[in-house]
Amino acid sequence: MHWYEKLNQYFPIEEMKSKEHMETLLKERSEIYHKDESADHVLMYVELEDFIFIDYLFVSKNTRGQGLGHKLLEKLKQKGKPIILEVEPVNYEDTDSEKRLRFYKREGFEHAQSIGYRRRSLATKEVNEMEILYWTPNHASEELVYDAMKRTYDLIHTYKDVHFYGEPYQPVHKVLTFNEDPEKENLLRDI
């Protein structure tokens, strides 16, 4: 099966880039956008000088639990840069989302408490919320993670968006937010 079909069957439509978009990134942004694949996995990631962003990580069902995901993440961790990714919030009716979150927690990833991510899907027209997870070798701040997410959004997510989807994604300042005091916001939400 083609790598794109593997991703397309596993990830929700609102999270998927088009095949044309991803192939163009691999071709036109090949210095920063990368694909690592085998029969059992597909890893799409962005590597810049100061961080790595995992766009998609797929491990086939028949090899899950055998350490392949761990090996792929270890390979990225060896580069000594913060690693950032987006995950959908846990849906307790979807065991995959819960397993994914447990996997990343075991691998040392933390929730970015200060960063909000809400983007309207051009495929479904619905606003979907994502959580930002990150791993850092040197305790980088969430502000660094936020800046890296903004760059990823502008360099990758919205790259030639009108060409591929017929309309633009929302600008980064409407999608990503940074709250310097997330505990205060949680307290206000509970009142």
| pLDDT at 11 > cutoff 70 | yes
- Averaged pLDDT, 70-98: 86
Number of H helices, E strands in the chain: 8, 8
Please tell me the distance from the alpha carbon of residue 25 to that of residue 59, in angstroms, as a whole number. 22
Tokens of residue 167, six digits: 């309309």
Please state the rounded mean pLDDT for residues 58-69: 90
DSSP letter, residue 174: H
Which conformational region is residue 133 in: left (phi greater than 0), alpha (psi within -120 to 50 degrees), or beta?
beta
Q: In this structure, what CATH number is given to the domain that contains residue 109?
A: 3.40.630.30
Average pLDDT (27-45) is 97
Mean pLDDT, range 72-87, rounded to an integer: 96
Considering its fold, how many domains does the chain have in total? 1
Question: Which two three-digit tokens encode residue 142?
Answer: 């969430």
With beta carbons less than 8 A apart as the criterion, state whether 82 and 52 touch.
Answer: yes
Total-model pTM: 0.90
Count of other CB atoms within 10 angstroms of residue 34: 16
- The rounded percent of the chain whose pLDDT value lies above 90 is 73
According to the model, what pLDDT value does residue 183 have? 58
Residue 16 has pLDDT above 60, yes or no: yes
The residue segments making up the domain with residue 85 are 3-190
Q: Encode pLDDT of 157-178 as tens digits.
A: 999 999 999 999 999 999 999 9
The pair of structure tokens assigned to 45 is 């990631």
Per-residue pLDDT band at 182 (split at 50, 70, 90)? low
Mean pLDDT of 59-83: 94
Q: For CA atoms 148, 151, 155, 159, give the dihedral sign.
A: positive
Q: How far apart are CA 161 and CA 120, in angstroms?
A: 13
Q: How confident is the model at residue 185 (pLDDT cuts 50, 70, 90)?
A: very low
